[in-house]
């Protein structure tokens, strides 16, 4: 029997947080002479292939590792030159005056990235950096998905990296394991130790990459309104990239009462808007993808940022600030902070209070400061559903009529005292002016679903060109999923539970949430001997985890694929 593979540090996931951690730790160890053995496992066959992000970011954390980013060859799509915040009616667009745009949505001077390119570059540079350090052993394992956390008592000692074989043959052990994943494996750690008493709120980001005729490099738009006016927290974005390409996407929160969000269809409705139709005129779709986003912010942070033998980083921790659409720099900063603490822990052989010191450092820096300031942002919309359910539709209607401010006025005149009070309170939450430290308790996303709720149909502009809109089955082609035969990466725990869910939604004339909200074409309803049952076309899965989050009975789980299979988001 071969000896178990043992390292000082194991990094789970080829994420920005883990890669920055590794870069910083190697720098520190090279300077101090500390010998370290590091392993990095990544479920995709190539670094960046499972990465979907906007992405716009401040460069300050990256510049701590690479002071001269451009000279170092770091892939940058451009620098934001014009940043717009727009309200969409079904036909018209209103760009808010810059004076009233929240500071967090003003992105001028920030970097526009294709994050998958940045991730692969960071991984390549990391291996070069490690080779130059005689005291560092770095083993990189793309195509190896961590499938299970290994424990000795209550201490994390490593991970199992395949779906078959003995633990000694298929396990990697380490003194410390850092989870930088998006919940595939870190959720087990969180649940085992009850680290997150206030549940995470999730959204799903759906994105397409387009090649277009005109050059929009450096111009970015963030939008609210059309096509989602049913009270669901959501927004769109269009980012101008290099080489006449556009990143077009929609972010849809999964804590909606709407059981049939259908995010991929909503993205097509977004693209049907005359403004976007003009942007993509003569263009062609290059790639498609989707991924879930943790957006609960400050009040969804774990009570502990790690346990004995393990730390949570980036999206596993949940450091995105929904109020300013900034998460990438915060994820990288968690890695940068962890690297310094890990270096000292390995040097001094003192790990006892590592997680506590890590939490203190994260909350004491800009991450904690910004998340604390915006801690009530999501509360504003959860507490007052009229903001998105009544006020926003009124404004959008006025945008189409050519007088956007009138919608605000009409809504306020309905019940002036009550609505003025509600609006002022909500503005305080949104702008970070609320002084209360009372924790606002979130409800798990699936518990917000109201099966009977049916929003009004979305009116799509008749001017939309059919060739620019893509069906969900056709969208799968542009995500390019590839799976090995027999790859059963979505678990259905109890078929009878699924049959009961199907019956509930059949009575309402609706598909189940897993079918409606799938971003690819995975879940379906089959007839078997006269009984309607849940079926799956797993070869279409793009690993977004939406079905797991919206399943009303918590009866599904999306596991990491193995042997490097899954979608190919590189370049998206």
SS3 206: strand
Residue 393 has phi, psi (to 5 degrees) of -60, -35
Element (DSSP H or E) covering residue 516: helix 513-517
Of 28, 21, 17, 12, nearest to 135 by C-alpha is: 28
**Ordered DSSP codes for 115-156:** HHHHHHHHHHHHHHHHHT-TTEEEEEEET----EEEEETTEE
Across residues 94-113, what is the average pLDDT?
A: 93
Across residues 531-552, what is the average pLDDT?
A: 97
What is the structure's pLDDT at 395?
92
- Equal fold, 5-69+115-196+298-373 vs 472-558: no
Mean pLDDT of the chain: 93
Architecture of the domain whose range is 472-558: 2-Layer Sandwich (3.30)
CA 236, 241, 242 angle in degrees (round to 5)?
A: 170
Superfamily of domain 5-69+115-196+298-373: FAD/NAD(P)-binding domain (3.50.50.60)
What is the structure's pLDDT at 417?
47
What is the structure's pLDDT at 165?
41
CB 235 within 8 Å of CB 381:
no
Q: Poorest-confidence range of 10-24, 186-200, 433-447, 512-526?
A: 433-447
Q: What is the pLDDT of residues 1-41, one digit of tens each?
A: 356 789 999 999 999 999 999 999 999 999 999 999 999 99
Q: What is the pLDDT of residues 239-254, one digit of tens each?
A: 999 999 999 999 999 9
Structure tokens at 77: 């799509």
CB 428 within 8 Å of CB 419:
no
Model pTM greater than 0.85? yes
Q: What is the pLDDT of residues 471-480, one digit of tens each?
A: 999 999 999 9
Cα dihedral 48, 50, 54, 56 sign: negative
Q: How many CA atoms lie within 13 A of 522 on its CB side?
A: 29
**Strand pairing partners for 112?**
56, 78
Across residues 327-341, what is the average pLDDT?
A: 99
- Taking only Cα atoms into account, the Rg of the chain, rounded to an integer number of angstroms, comes to 23
- The Cα 104–Cα 431 span in angstroms is 9
Q: What is the pLDDT of residues 283-299, one digit of tens each?
A: 999 999 999 999 999 99
Cα dihedral 86, 263, 556, 553 sign: positive
- The Cα 174–Cα 191 span in angstroms is 21
Q: What is the pLDDT of residues 121-153, one digit of tens each?
A: 999 999 999 999 999 999 999 999 999 999 999
Q: What is the pLDDT of residues 225-283, one digit of tens each?
A: 999 999 999 999 999 999 999 999 999 999 999 999 999 999 999 999 999 999 999 99
Residue 140 has phi, psi (to 5 degrees) of -110, 130
What ranges make up the beta strands (E) of 180-299? Answer: 202-211, 219-225, 234-241, 245-253, 284-294
- The Cα 66–Cα 72 span in angstroms is 7
Domain limits of the chain? 5-69+115-196+298-373, 377-435, 472-558
Q: Which of 390-394, 396-400, 471-475 has the highest mean pLDDT?
A: 471-475
Structure tokens at 328: 């990438």
Q: How many CA atoms lie within 13 A of 75 on its CB side?
A: 18
């Amino acid at each position: 029997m071969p000896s178990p593979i043992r390292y000082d540090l194991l990094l789970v996931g080829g994420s920005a947080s883990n890669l920055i951690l590794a870069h910083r730790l190697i720098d520190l160890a090279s300077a101090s002479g500390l010998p370290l053995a590091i392993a990095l496992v990544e479920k995709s066959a190539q670094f960046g292939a499972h990465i979907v992000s906007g992405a716009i970011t401040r460069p300050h954390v990256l510049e701590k590792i690479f002071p001269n980013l451009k000279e170092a060859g770091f892939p940058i799509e451009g620098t934001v030159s014009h940043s717009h915040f727009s309200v969409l009616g079904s036909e018209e667009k209103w760009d808010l005056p810059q004076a009233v745009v929240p500071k967090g949505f003003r992105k001028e001077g920030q970097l526009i990235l294709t994050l998958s390119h940045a991730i692969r570059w960071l991984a390549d540079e990391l291996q070069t950096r490690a080779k130059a350090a005689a005291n560092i052993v770095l083993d990189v394992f793309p195509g190896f998905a961590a499938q299970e956390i290994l424990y000795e008592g209550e201490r994390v000692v490593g991970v199992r990296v395949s779906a078959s074989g003995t633990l000694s043959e298929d396990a990697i052990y380490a003194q410390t394991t850092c989870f930088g994943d998006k919940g595939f494996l870190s959720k087990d750690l969180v649940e085992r130790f009850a680290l997150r008493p206030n549940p995470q709120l999730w959204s799903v980001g759906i994105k397409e990459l387009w090649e277009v005729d005109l050059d929009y490099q450096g111009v970015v738009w963030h939008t609210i309104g059309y096509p989602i006016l049913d009270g669901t927290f959501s927004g769109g974005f269009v980012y101008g990239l290099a080489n006449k390409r556009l990143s077009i996407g929609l972010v849809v929160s999964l804590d909606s009462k709407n059981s049939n969000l259908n995010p991929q269809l909503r993205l097509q409705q977004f693209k049907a808007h005359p403004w976007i139709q003009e942007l993509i005129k003569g263009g062609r779709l290059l790639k498609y993808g989707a991924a879930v986003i943790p957006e609960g912010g400050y009040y969804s942070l774990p009570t502990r940022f790690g346990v004995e033998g393990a730390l949570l980083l980036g999206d596993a921790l949940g450091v995105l600030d929904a109020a300013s659409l900034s998460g990438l720099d915060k994820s990288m900063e968690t890695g940068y902070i962890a690297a310094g603490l890990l270096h000292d822990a390995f040097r001094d052989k003192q790990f006892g209070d590592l997680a506590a010191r890590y939490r203190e450092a994260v909350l004491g820096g800009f991450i904690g400061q910004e998340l604390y300031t915006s801690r009530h942002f999501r509360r504003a919309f959860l507490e007052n559903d009229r903001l998105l359910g009544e006020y926003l539709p009124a404004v959008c209607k006025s945008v189409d009529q050519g007088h956007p401010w009138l919608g605000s006025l009409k809504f306020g005149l309905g019940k002036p005292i009550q609505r003025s009070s509600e609006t002022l309170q909500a503005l305080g939450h949104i702008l970070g002016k609320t002084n209360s430290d009372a924790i606002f308790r979130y409800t798990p996303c699936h518990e917000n679903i109201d099966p009977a709720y049916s929003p009004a149909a979305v009116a799509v502009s008749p001017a939309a060109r059919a060739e620019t809109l893509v069906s969900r089955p056709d969208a799968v082609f542009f995500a390019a999923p590839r799976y090995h035969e027999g790859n059963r990466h979505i678990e259905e725990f109890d078929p009878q539970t699924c049959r009961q869910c199907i019956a509930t939604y059949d009575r309402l004339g609706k598909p189940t949430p897993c079918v409606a909200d799938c971003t690819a074409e995975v879940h379906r309803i089959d007839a078997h001997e006269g009984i309607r049952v849940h079926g799956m076309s797993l070869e279409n899965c793009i690993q977004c985890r939406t079905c797991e989050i919206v399943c009303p009975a918590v009866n599904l789980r999306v596991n990491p694929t193995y042997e490097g299979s899954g979608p190919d988001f590189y370049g998206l």
